[in-house]
Amino acid sequence: MPLHGENHQVWGSSGRSYDANVAASTTGTKFEDLIKMWTDLYKKIGMHGGAICDDKTKMKCTLEGMNGACHAMLDKVSLPLTTVERLFKACGEMEPCKKTCNGVMEKLMDFEVKHALSMFTGGSAAEEMVGLCKSYSRVDSCYEKPECKGVLNSLEYTKDEMTKRCEVVDQPCFSKVAKKCSKETDTFFGKPDGEWDQLSCTDKFYPWMETPEKEVKECCGQFESLTKCAKDLKCEQTLKEYMYITPHPNWPEGEIVECSCPSAWSKAFGEKACSHGH
């Protein structure tokens, strides 16, 4: 498995977090069920958070003026008064943003769920990446409004990463390669529904895997077939760019593939391989 703990694969990947893999295998829970459970829970939390803000406007008393029964209820559910105060404050701060950007909370939650899931799955399946970028675009349009920047400041941590990702995903060639080169991507990166212990070629390229030279050459041959397919579509540049933003721009698979298959890389992209001058 790669150092960052995910079996990330390009266009059609089912790469999954090693930790999630272990958790699923030790509890008898399927990975898909684990993801669905986490997603449903996150959405419920967001829904209740929104309901708190809606109900705040209907309050007939202040937090300071609550009677003893209300304090007892908060104690029973282990919800400190200071937490409620913080939630109410956040509700007030979000109000101007909600007025200027309709549905901002739903847009934010949709993006946060999709982005978090991409950390488990690699976010490399074409439809998953396209959906993630569309979701990001919707919430980013809210973020750019003056009323929203302060309350959507969590997006600052993903803005650079998502901008780089989506500049590639939004290219027409991205979907074209996904559709026309699915056989080659499945062969090189592994099928989306592959077994947990199925090693992709990018896994085998890591030095600590001590992969036999014969298998490395086979993988490079598979990579060459993928790049040829992309080249026939005049989409090799998109494939190259994608290799350098997946699974994350800070730790791209492209570097290990480039240096493992320098001949195939140079042939495909017309540049000296493993020079790190991309």
Domain ranges of the chain: 30-56+66-170, 173-269
Q: What's the average model confidence in pLDDT over 91-104?
A: 92
pLDDT at residue 268 tops 70: yes
SS3 content of the chain, % helix, strand, coil (to 5): 70, 0, 30
Q: What's the pTM?
A: 0.73
Q: What's the average model confidence in pLDDT over 246-266?
A: 89
Q: Which of 17-21, 67-71, 74-78, 107-111 has the highest mean pLDDT?
A: 107-111
- What is the Cα–Cα distance from 10 to 14, expressed in whole angstroms? 9
Q: What's the average model confidence in pLDDT over 198-204?
A: 82
- What is the Cα–Cα distance from 5 to 23, expressed in whole angstroms? 13
Q: What's the average model confidence in pLDDT over 92-104?
A: 92
What torsion, rounded to 10 degrees, do the Cα atoms 160, 162, 168, 174 define? 170
- What is the Cα–Cα distance from 249 to 247, expressed in whole angstroms? 7
- What is the Cα–Cα distance from 152 to 86, expressed in whole angstroms? 16
pLDDT of 28? 58
Q: What's the average model confidence in pLDDT over 187-203?
A: 73
pLDDT of 66? 81
Looking at per-residue confidence, does 99 or 202 come out higher? 99
Judge contact between 275 and 210, C-beta under 8 A. Answer: no
Q: Strand, helix or coil at 17?
A: strand
Task: Give residue-wise pLDDT tens across range 209-254.
Answer: 899 999 999 999 999 999 999 999 999 999 999 999 887 888 888 8
List residues bridging with 181 in a β-sheet.
Answer: none
pLDDT of 118? 78
Give the pLDDT band (50/70/90) at residue 189: confident
Q: Which of 31-40, 184-193, 253-262 has the highest mean pLDDT?
A: 253-262
pLDDT of 215? 94
- Look up residue 82 and give its two tokens: 């200071």
Judge contact between 260 and 266, C-beta under 8 A. Answer: no
Nearest to 26 by CA among 34, 14, 15: 34
Task: Give residue-wise pLDDT tens across range 14-51.
Answer: 343 334 444 444 455 666 677 778 778 877 877 777 77
Q: Angle between the 213-232 and 182-189 helix axes, to the nearest 10 degrees?
A: 160
List residues bridging with 6 in a β-sheet.
Answer: 17
- What is the Cα–Cα distance from 147 to 139, expressed in whole angstroms? 13
Task: Give residue-wise pLDDT tens across range 106-164.
Answer: 999 899 888 887 776 544 678 888 999 999 999 999 999 999 998 998 899 999 999 99
Q: Strand, helix or coil at 6?
A: strand
Kindly write down the DSSP assignment for every residue of 129-173, as one continuous string. HHHHHHHHHHHHHHHTSHHHHTTTGGGHHHHHHHHHHHHHHTSHH
pLDDT of 217? 95
pLDDT of 220? 96
pLDDT of 59? 77
Residue that is written with structure tokens 């085998």 in the block: 204
Judge contact between 242 and 250, C-beta under 8 A. Answer: no
Nearest to 193 by CA among 127, 113, 119, 121: 121
